[in-house]
Amino acid sequence: MVIDSDDDFFKLACAVPLQVATTPVMSAAGVELVVRRDDLIDVSLSGNKAYKLFYNLRAARDAGYSRVLSFGGAYSNHLYALAMAGAKFGFNTLGVVRGERPKLLSPTLKDAQEAGMELVFISREAYQSKSFNELLIDWRNQYGDFYLIPEGGAGLLGASGMSLSGRALEEQLKGDYTSVCIACGTGTSLAGLAAGLVAAGRHDKLALGFSVLKGDGDLGTGIAETYRQLCITQGFYRSNESLPAANWRLISGFHGGGYGKKHPPNLFAFWRSFEQETGIPLDPVYTLKLIWGIHCLAQMGYWPRGSRIVAIHSGGLQGRRGFICP
Ligand SMILES: *Cc1c(COP(=O)(O)O)cnc(C)c1O
């Protein structure tokens, strides 16, 4: 991966493999499922987190920072990617993790630390007793000045990076697909993906986000705002007035018990059979629920026969280590 050139990164994104996933359920529904393997864009730094970090790290470098700080949990794909990116591109990285330092680090945090990330644990009491700005001042006093990257790489810069995946997909398939599906946490990636299709002149293609959260009540508000800002700031549209209907939708109900929760037996069985049938590995928190949701909808007859559905493999495979996997 590269961060100096948009063109070089876009070229990498255009070379991401597209893999047809043939399963009995999709075949019976007469629907082709194509998986865009964004998990394979780079060996150590992959998935949507690589895209979301791209412009964030560029901004840090352009502003003259050599140190970046961000947040995450013990199995965070974002902190993992940030640590790998730091090692690759020469940034010092600080990873703030909520909670006391455990006796035994999770495999994710252990790898992050070995890649050079300094882990900063913050107790819940300390987190609650100070304002965010006070915490930032403390950390700047302790570690030196840093560029702040939002948790998960959320925000406009993150979405902007992800729009490259949508543009690259259109470059690869030239409109020969029905819709594009992606797993949603914050929905930053969905907003970016949808805006990327717009940028590529494919406003007619829908980006469908499958939420992995049980309570995703106002998720859509944030997505709408990021999408709108991205479409306007990137010049896809000139103003609010000229924005046509959005080309993204949020799909709920396939969270499988909620974020990071133990899987119900049917979901676990699906995980195993999908991997056996296609050879495509899935992560437990995001892509499993996406692919499961696509299959459930196929069984309900949601996809018209003859549809060609693209699923974005947003990575996260490092997180398998914290889970019992098939
Ligand atoms: C973080 C993550 C997501 C969710 O991305 P958002 O932009 O927060 O919606 C999806 N898939 C994987 C593998 C992730 O690590």
Kindly state if the Cβ of 47 falls inside 6 Å of ligand 1: yes
Between 233 and 83, whose confidence is greater?
83
How far are the Cα atoms of 7, 73, 84, 241 from residue 167, in angstroms, in the given order? 12, 31, 25, 24
Percentage of the chain with pLDDT > 90? 82
Over 80: is that where the pLDDT of 64 sits?
Answer: yes
Cα(142) to centroid of ligand 1, in Å?
A: 31
pTM of the prediction? 0.96
**Is 70 exceeded by the pLDDT of residue 241?**
no
Question: Which of the four pLDDT bands, split at 50, 70 and 90, describes residue 2?
Answer: low
Residue-wise pLDDT for 191-213, tens only, equals 999 999 999 999 999 999 999 99
DSSP string for residues in 132-196: HHHHHHHHHHHH---EE--GGG-SHHHHHHHHHHHHHHHHHHTT--SEEEEEESSSHHHHHHHHH
* Residue 311 alpha carbon to ligand 1 centre in Å: 13
Q: Which of 202, 187, 189, 190 is nearest to 236 (CA)?
A: 202
217-231, 233-247, 312-326: range with lowest mean pLDDT: 233-247
Interhelix angle for 156-173 vs 219-233, to 10°? 70
pLDDT at 166: 97
What is the per-residue pLDDT for 99? Answer: 87
Residue 149 has pLDDT above 90, yes or no: yes
46 pocket-lining for ligand 1 (C-beta < 6 Å)? no
**Per mean pLDDT, which of 23-27, 122-126, 197-201, 258-262 is the most reliable?**
23-27
Reported as a single tens digit per residue, the pLDDT across 211-225 is 999 987 789 999 999
Q: Is the pLDDT of residue 235 over 80?
A: no
pLDDT grade for 4, boundaries at 50, 70 and 90: confident
Mutate to test the pocket of ligand 1, among 216, 290, 314 (most ligand atoms within 8 A of CB): 314
pLDDT digits (tens, 9 = 90+) for 154-190: 999 999 999 999 999 999 999 999 999 999 999 999 9
- Is the shortest distance between the CB of 211 and ligand 1 below 6 Å? no
Cα–Cα distances (Å) from 265 to 26, 132, 316, in that order, read 21, 40, 21
Ligand 1 binding pocket includes 9 (Cβ within 6 Å): no
Q: Flag whether pLDDT at 292 surpasses 80.
A: yes
Assess whether the C-beta atom of 38 lies below 6 angstroms from ligand 1. no
| Any atom of ligand 1 within 6 Å of the Cβ of 183 | yes
Q: What percent of the chain has pLDDT over 70?
A: 98
Does ligand 1 have an atom closer than 6 angstroms to the CB of 163?
no
Average model confidence (pLDDT) across the chain: 94
323 band by pLDDT with thresholds 50, 70 and 90: confident
* 322 alpha-carbon distance from chain centroid: 18
Give me 289's structure tokens: 């629920």
Q: What is the mean pLDDT of residues 302-320?
A: 97
Verify whether ligand 1 is closer than 6 Å to residue 284 (CB atom). Answer: no
User: Dmax of the chain from CA atoms?
Assistant: 61
314 lines ligand 1 (CB under 6 A): yes
Ligand 1 atom with minimal separation from the 192 CA: 7
Written as one letter, the residue type at 99 is G
Rounded Cα gap, residues 105 and 114, in angstroms: 11
Distance 268 CA to ligand 1 centre (A): 20
| 73 ligand 1 Cβ < 6 A | no
